[in-house]
Structure 1
Amino acid sequence: MSALVKAGALSFALGVAVACAPAASAASGYGNFDLQIQRGTDYHTYIWVVSSCANPAPDCELITAIHRPIAGNVSYTGEAHLFDGQWVLAVDIGEGLICGGYYGQNIPTHDVFTWDPNTLAGNAASASDIGCGGAPGGVINYPFVLTRL
């Protein structure tokens, strides 16, 4: 993944975090959450297991994404950090962009998830070097909601 695409995705996500940061508590809360990404072109469904980081701190949550048994999903893990009242998680996903339906092409992405700890609503900025069908790469934004299970 190019440094330019990664930097663009992170800059966008941090800009959203700064612009939209309401007064918020420090933690979303440990537990299991259904990640509902609102996009109609692929089949990503996950459960996020939120726990403490290896070095526990109030501004760090360990996110373990467990894919549900649907084609093209891969699990991932990363640390989310509190930034200006918003949680920010940056991860590389080997099959982050699925093109052409259930058995379509899979493209690696660098995804930056930003969400409000009170509403559990946020944005996933998904960056790739190339797009579906050889289209130019870039950043695609997807709204999402976390629901405690």
Structure 2
Amino acid sequence: PTIESDFGMKLTVFFGNSWTKLKGDELRIYFDNENSLFSEFIHYKADENLISFSQAILWGLAHRSNLSAIKSKILQDINESKDIRDIIVTMWEEHGNLVQTAQKLFIHRNSLQYKLDKFASLSGLNLKKLDDLAFCYLLILTD
């Protein structure tokens, strides 16, 4: 608020995803895809001051934005992570409840937590956050 009032401008902050294990010019591709998404989001929802990657990506899916690079990278991360596809579907069915998800998958809760942490470090998405879980679940449904 101080910056906005002192300089007479509106400040909006967008937190993009943290991308890992990239090759060559992939960071530029993902950055451009995120920047395009952010620009569209601001155009339609200009009243937001703080925008997370998850919030913008779900909005982008709903509005059929061009997210081809981001979607293919996240799907690749899902497919490369052992058991994560089943975990995402089961967590969605169990409304994000980790105990019930672990029980349904017949794994220890700590094993589930380990797999979630490993996926978060690979993809930048925390499946314990409903927006991230919803995005991954919708990706799997459309795959």
Normalising by structure 1, we get a TM-score of 0.28
In our comparison, the structure showing a higher alpha carbon Rg is 2
- TM-score w.r.t. structure 2 length? 0.29
Structure in which a larger fraction of residues adopt strand: 1
> When you count helix as a share of all residues, which structure comes out higher?
2
